[in-house]
Amino acid sequence: MSIQHLPATASGEEVAAALSEDGVVVVDNLISAAAMDSVADELRPWIDATAVGPDDFSGRRTRRTGGLVGRSQKCRELVMNPLVLGACGKFLSHATSYQLHLTQVIAIGPGEPAQPIHRDQWAFDFFTFPRGFEVQCNTLWAMTDFTEENGATRVIPGSNRFDDKLKFAEKDTEAAEMTKGSVLFYSGSIYHGGGANRSNATRAGINITYNLSWLRQEENQYLAVPLEIARTLPVELLRLMGYRRGAYALGYVDDLRDPIEIVRPDLGQTGLGDPEVHKRIKEQSAQFRHGITQS
């Protein structure tokens, strides 16, 4: 099976359908190479200041630079890209809401061996989620071209339906080759890993991932993005960062206040999350009441 490619004109539904089917899909040239170069210019000082990884999984010749919402205006636009949010909204629609899971430049330097093949959802303490129950929707934006030689992500299309905790080698996988400005979408359930970089240049991508709001975020957005910066961000982005209740009782502050009120006191009682989430929370509240009166 080979990796499907969709054009930038694809809809969120089409991306989500491909993800449900294969666990992986590339959207070609979602932004132009020139636009991606300007994102890279903004990130350069942060990447240059990042140390290489401490172990084989993070990569001893790989730099992982996070905190991108706080550090980069242009990355905020990638986080909020309408096609990405459309795809995540559909793919994770079984939950009350989803949230930003992590933001990270992954810059794989020359000579880095292949990363072990894994499922990203193993981050949740290796819990085995039911087959077909998706907890993550991931993007990896190509900052450089991704080629077999320079360490394009290795994936096993269709492995979203495999058993859990399997072991694979590089030969079982295929390279997700794509041009700068393209985006690799992949589920938390797909077996994959960063490729070996056998070239003499760095392969860089921006990993922006989203997960169900009832799970913990990999990157702590509340602490990674200083409150003074958070207060300047669009409300939709704040909600995505986790400043809202993730379900009826998740993430409230003191007297059942919605967390967005702490960042934006001006929103007061109107800040109860976006209307769709608020509707679902009200439904949950009714379910709780119903459950209690039945018992």
Ligand X SMILES: O=C(O)CCC(=O)C(=O)O
Residue 192 found at the interface with ligand X (CB under 6 A)? yes
Smaller CB separation from Fe ion, 97 or 103: 103
Residue 219 found at the interface with Fe ion (CB under 5 A)? no
Piece in contact with ligand X (CB under 6 A), picked from 18-26, 160-168, 188-196, 264-272: 188-196
Residue 153 found at the interface with ligand X (CB under 6 A)? yes
- Out of 3, 24, 106, 212, point to the residue binding ligand X (CB under 6 A): 106
Residue appearing with tokens 């967005």: 260
Smaller CB separation from Fe ion, 107 or 230: 107
Strand 62-66's sheet: what is its strand order? 5-6, 24-27, 183-187, 136-142, 203-212, 98-108, 62-66
Q: 65 contacts which partner out of Fe ion, ligand X, none, CB within 5 to 8 A by kind?
A: none
Map residues 64-103 to x or -, x wherever contact with Fe ion holds by CB under 5 A: ----------------------------------------
User: What minimum distance in Å lies between the beta carbon of 37 and Fe ion?
Assistant: 25
Smaller CB separation from ligand X, 23 or 193: 193
Instruction: Answer for the pair 152, 107: CB distance below 8 angstroms, yes or no.
Output: no
Close Cβ partners of 207 (under 8 Å, ≥ 6 residues apart): 102, 103, 104, 105, 106, 138, 139, 140, 141
Smaller CB separation from ligand X, 96 or 159: 159
Smaller CB separation from ligand X, 169 or 229: 169
Q: Please give the residues from 214 up to 273 whose contact with ligand X meets the rule CB under 6 A.
A: none
Residue 194 found at the interface with ligand X (CB under 6 A)? yes
**Interaction site with ligand X (CB under 6 A):** 106, 115, 120, 153, 192-194, 205
**Interaction site with Fe ion (CB under 5 A):** 120
